[in-house]
A and B are shown apart, each in its own frame.
Chain A
Amino acid sequence: MLIEKFHPATFAERGVAVPFTTPMLIGSRARPDEREGIELIVPNPGGGQGVYVFNWSQLTKFCQPSLHDLAMTERVGTLKLVTPATIRRVAREVAAEGLAGREVALAADRAWENEQQSSLLTNFNLLVGLMRQIETPDPLRATPERETPLRMQRRAQQTIAAFAPQIGLPPEQVAIHLEELADICLRVGVGNGAAAAFLPQLVRELRRFQRGLAEWAAVREGDRADLARYIVSEAGATLGVAEPMIAANQQRALNVVQLLRDYVLAPAKLSAEFARSDWLLDGWQLLCVRWRAASPEEYDDVIEDLAAMLPPMPTEVMEWGYMFGETFERNFRRKVQAGHDWRSGLLAFQGIERGEEALRLVFDVVAE
């Protein structure tokens, strides 16, 4: 079904960006459908306004997807919950199978190892934060980071045991909650490791992308330059909301005592509040890597892909302080040779190769 004007009201309605490699599926998003599982939203492949919305299982009738995309479809189709985090996990698992190439599989493995380490580090930082708040100040005692693993473990147990009665939970339950909180705070980052977390890294990547695209557009005229400037302004508006939101969450995560209390009272609410910036920035990483994977000679051809990938902002984002600018009406026509993708001018299999390179960079960004 073609929807000519796609203005989602909520992030759930907007869906989550799926890193497909098939050129025709660039900019596609998945969203839950109450009746029939999951829906796919695909930007109009003809380059006109609007999106196609259809059931996930109909993908092969829409186009001929790559092996990697078939595997993605298979796995995403079984998801009970469609969020940026679940799609990222599925993308990493599918990529690790090697269907997008060995280099992508290696990058996905590295990203997985990196995430495991980040999870441990976040858990450790939360524990350290809790110790700082609960332990009685003692200038003679070593800081937690300098403790031996055995002494650190003992101090952590003592801290949790001292804090647990304050929220009416057994110590084991507090330890479990800390682990769950680590998963929630993982992408925003906590304490010393905050800058290396996924979302702060993505913000820096988006800044670089915004700067690069603005420089490219500054010395050009015409429709593509106008489109590039529009993307730059959208990136700026997104960053304008995302950066303070991430900073506030990082600040909030420093008060572990309050964080645990909030979590015990309303775990879903806290989780949703921390996930906001992830939803807000969802899809931008794919634009950044698509731009990064291109050589300067290819920038003209990449702009159309970027336009298709641009995440539409749902109206609910206004509650978070997002200011909508003017919309940009795309109306491009282009003559290409038979078998070439009209957006990029590439042959279908070259487009897939470019998509695979972007996918590798998606995981490498996470692993950096």
Chain B
Amino acid sequence: MLLFVHKKKILPCYGIPHDWAIVMSSLRHEIRTLSSSVRSASDEQIAQVVATIDRMEKRGVADALVAPLRGRLRALAVRRPQTLRRISFEPLDPLILNNSVWKREQPFVPRSVLIPLFDMMRRGNPEFAHAEMLLPRAESDSTVRALLCTMLWRFGAGALRIAQPPHDWRQTSGLSDQDFRSIRSVVVGVLEQADRLRALDPRADETQILVQLREILIAAARSGGLTWQAILVLLFSNRDFVAYAVRLGQELAIAPELAIGLNAAFSNVSAVLQNRLDGLSEAACFSPLELADMVDVIVDLEAAAGPRSERKRIAEVLRRNANQLCAKAVTQTIDRELMPALKRDGNEVQPEVQSLAEAAARSARTLGLVAERLGVGDKYEARARKAIVFLNDPANCLDPVDRARLLEIMGRGTEAREVLRGAGRALEVAVG
């Protein structure tokens, strides 16, 4: 099925039109126009657009519609259908960039090469036919999914390692044969380590984590400069392992090319994180936990940056941008979510309304902790004061228990107890 775009509505188009070139040209123009307007679409509309595109058998130029939304889709946690191609490139996810921002000799993969690369992985690989049969079960069974991942990554890497650029590579990807080789080294290098990366358990003992990470990094260093950088970027953007990875990376980067790669990874991870921050920034509504995760990474990166001015500067820029995003999110959460849920007219309030208020209070609290981590907790306090003052005001229409709970969630335990005391419910521990 093809898409036909008409007056900013996506319509399915069955069959192949007579004058194909004219239609394609027209479609591209429409897509460009639509791409620019889709940025301002609501989160729900975006989820609808993506779902429509995901249902198509052949996406063609419609893929361009999704391009500007990638970061936002991640922030919105839009569930995409599982496909062999998506699972195959899952370990590379943070490294996949839109073609417009991709640059040569960097540890990233332009999105346009995914289809040709996947075709090369699948061609003549009987394991992929087997994987196709397992795919429907992988949705509901995590063990099957794990098996599927191992198959796709291992056999995919094996097929790509010996692959040569196809004859139409330049036409389909717009890239040179040299680009093919450097992209191939990143993809193969990451896929070869993908099982080990997945096995990393943040709950495991520190010694165990260090041993596993060392194995991964040594293997990456042996695979070449770009793989080394790619693996470092993946680990540097993971809150659970960034501190370990920086430590080990510095320890292992004895050879000059590895030291250069480590510095480059530092710069590149900032691009990845900035991309994610942009995605959150564009989303009308995102999980504060996503921002909290990122801020943990940024703070750890900054701490590990040491006195090197360039690394420090990169981390500071990220911190500043995260700070701005946090401030915006706090204001939005308090003004658009929490305060409207608190304005009640004195009638009996449905539990759902209180649940909404509590969810907003939890978001605000998470953002408060993010602000503290960023060293601007006092600014958060100033923004949250409106809600705290309202909750402390006995003249509002809220039930004292509801008020106390909201204050407790927002980290004001003492004030919560005072509210209850004011309502004649002092919580005193007495021993009989």
Kindly identify, within residues 85 to 124 of chain A, every residue whose CB is under 8 Å from any CB belonging to chain B. Answer: 97-99, 101-103, 106
B397-432 toward A: CB 8 Å interface, digit per residue (1/0)? 001011011001101010011001000010111111
* Contact present for B405 and A67 (CB under 8 Å): yes
* Contact present for B351 and A99 (CB under 8 Å): no
A103–B359 CA distance with the chains assembled, in angstroms? 13
| B203: interface (CB < 8 Å) | yes
Look across to chain A and name the residue whose beta carbon is closest to the beta carbon of B427.
Answer: A70
Which residues of chain B are near A67, meaning CB under 8 Å? 404-405, 408, 413, 416-417, 420, 427
Look across to chain B and name the residue whose beta carbon is closest to the beta carbon of A66.
Answer: B408
Which residues of chain A are near B413, meaning CB under 8 Å? 64, 67
Looking at A38, A64, A67, A332, the one whose CB has the most chain B CB atoms below 10 A away is A67
| A353: interface (CB < 8 Å) | yes
| B366: interface (CB < 8 Å) | yes
Which residues of chain B are near A37, meaning CB under 8 Å? 431-432
A103–B356 CA distance with the chains assembled, in angstroms? 12
Which residues of chain B are near A106, meaning CB under 8 Å? 351
* Contact present for A296 and B203 (CB under 8 Å): no
Kindly identify, within residues 334 to 354 of chain A, every residue whose CB is under 8 Å from any CB belonging to chain B. Answer: 334-335, 337-339, 345, 347, 349-350, 353
Which residues of chain B are near A349, meaning CB under 8 Å? 362, 365, 409, 411
Minimum distance in angstroms from B235 CB to a CB of chain A = 15
* Contact present for A36 and B427 (CB under 8 Å): no
Which residues of chain A are near B417, meaning CB under 8 Å? 67, 70
| B212: interface (CB < 8 Å) | no
Q: If A70-B427, A224-B203 touch, does A339 touch B432 (CB 8 Å cutoff)?
A: no
* Contact present for A99 and B404 (CB under 8 Å): yes
Q: Which of A53-61, A189-197, A261-269 contacts B (4 or more CB under 8 A)?
A: A53-61
| A74: interface (CB < 8 Å) | yes
B355 touches which of A102, A224, A338 (Cβ 8 Å): A102
Interface size class of B (residues with CB under 8 A): 35 or more
Which residues of chain B are near A99, meaning CB under 8 Å? 401, 404-405
Chain A: interface residue total (CB-CB under 8 A): 44
A333–B201 CA distance with the chains assembled, in angstroms? 12
Which residues of chain A are near B206, meaning CB under 8 Å? 333, 335
Minimum distance in angstroms from B293 CB to a CB of chain A = 9
A333 touches which of B143, B205, B362, B430 (Cβ 8 Å): B205
* Contact present for A101 and B203 (CB under 8 Å): no
B431 touches which of A66, A70, A77, A332 (Cβ 8 Å): A77
A219–B432 CA distance with the chains assembled, in angstroms? 49
- Per DSSP, chain B at the interface is helix
* Contact present for B296 and A57 (CB under 8 Å): no
Which residues of chain A are near B201, meaning CB under 8 Å? 222, 300
| B354: interface (CB < 8 Å) | yes
Which residues of chain A are near B411, meaning CB under 8 Å? 349
A74–B426 CA distance with the chains assembled, in angstroms? 10
Look across to chain A and name the residue whose beta carbon is closest to the beta carbon of B365.
Answer: A349
Minimum distance in angstroms from B239 CB to a CB of chain A = 7
Look across to chain A and name the residue whose beta carbon is closest to the beta carbon of B413.
Answer: A64
| A28: interface (CB < 8 Å) | no
Look across to chain B and name the residue whose beta carbon is closest to the beta carbon of A75.
Answer: B430
Kindly identify, within residues 113 to 129 of chain B, every residue whose CB is under 8 Å from any CB belonging to chain A. Answer: none
* Contact present for A71 and B427 (CB under 8 Å): yes
Look across to chain B and name the residue whose beta carbon is closest to the beta carbon of A304.
Answer: B203
Which residues of chain A are near B203, meaning CB under 8 Å? 224, 300-301, 332, 334, 345
Q: If A70-B417, A99-B401, A349-B365 touch, does A56 touch B408 (CB 8 Å cutoff)?
A: no
Look across to chain B and name the residue whose beta carbon is closest to the beta carbon of A339.
Answer: B369
A339–B366 CA distance with the chains assembled, in angstroms? 11
Look across to chain B and name the residue whose beta carbon is closest to the beta carbon of A80.
Answer: B432
Which residues of chain B are near A335, meaning CB under 8 Å? 202, 206
| B347: interface (CB < 8 Å) | no
* Contact present for A337 and B239 (CB under 8 Å): yes
Minimum distance in angstroms from B244 CB to a CB of chain A = 9
A103 touches which of B142, B351, B404 (Cβ 8 Å): B351
| A73: interface (CB < 8 Å) | yes
Q: If A67-B416, A349-B365, A349-B411 touch, does A55 touch B405 (CB 8 Å cutoff)?
A: no
| B192: interface (CB < 8 Å) | no
Q: If A67-B404, A347-B366 touch, does A78 touch B430 (CB 8 Å cutoff)?
A: yes
Looking at B206, B296, B420, B429, the one whose CB has the most chain A CB atoms below 10 A away is B429
* Contact present for A98 and B401 (CB under 8 Å): yes
| B320: interface (CB < 8 Å) | no
| A79: interface (CB < 8 Å) | yes
* Contact present for B142 and A296 (CB under 8 Å): yes
Kindly identify, within residues 274 to 299 of chain B, every residue whose CB is under 8 Å from any CB belonging to chain A. Answer: 296
Look across to chain B and name the residue whose beta carbon is closest to the beta carbon of A301.
Answer: B203
Minimum distance in angstroms from A129 CB to a CB of chain B = 38
B296 touches which of A60, A222, A301, A337 (Cβ 8 Å): A337
B30-71 toward A: CB 8 Å interface, digit per residue (1/0)? 000000000000000000000000000000000000000000
Looking at A71, A301, A335, the one whose CB has the most chain B CB atoms below 10 A away is A335
A80–B432 CA distance with the chains assembled, in angstroms? 7
| B373: interface (CB < 8 Å) | yes
Q: List 22 A-B contacts (CB under 8 A).
A: A57-B429, A57-B430, A66-B408, A67-B413, A67-B420, A67-B427, A77-B429, A77-B432, A78-B432, A80-B432, A102-B354, A102-B355, A102-B402, A332-B203, A332-B205, A333-B205, A333-B206, A335-B206, A337-B239, A338-B373, A345-B202, A345-B203
Given A67-B405, A70-B417, A333-B205, 4 more contacts at CB 8 Å? A57-B431, A64-B413, A77-B429, A338-B373
List the 10 closest A-B pairs by CB distance, nearest first: A37-B431, A102-B351, A78-B432, A70-B427, A98-B401, A77-B431, A57-B431, A73-B429, A57-B429, A334-B203
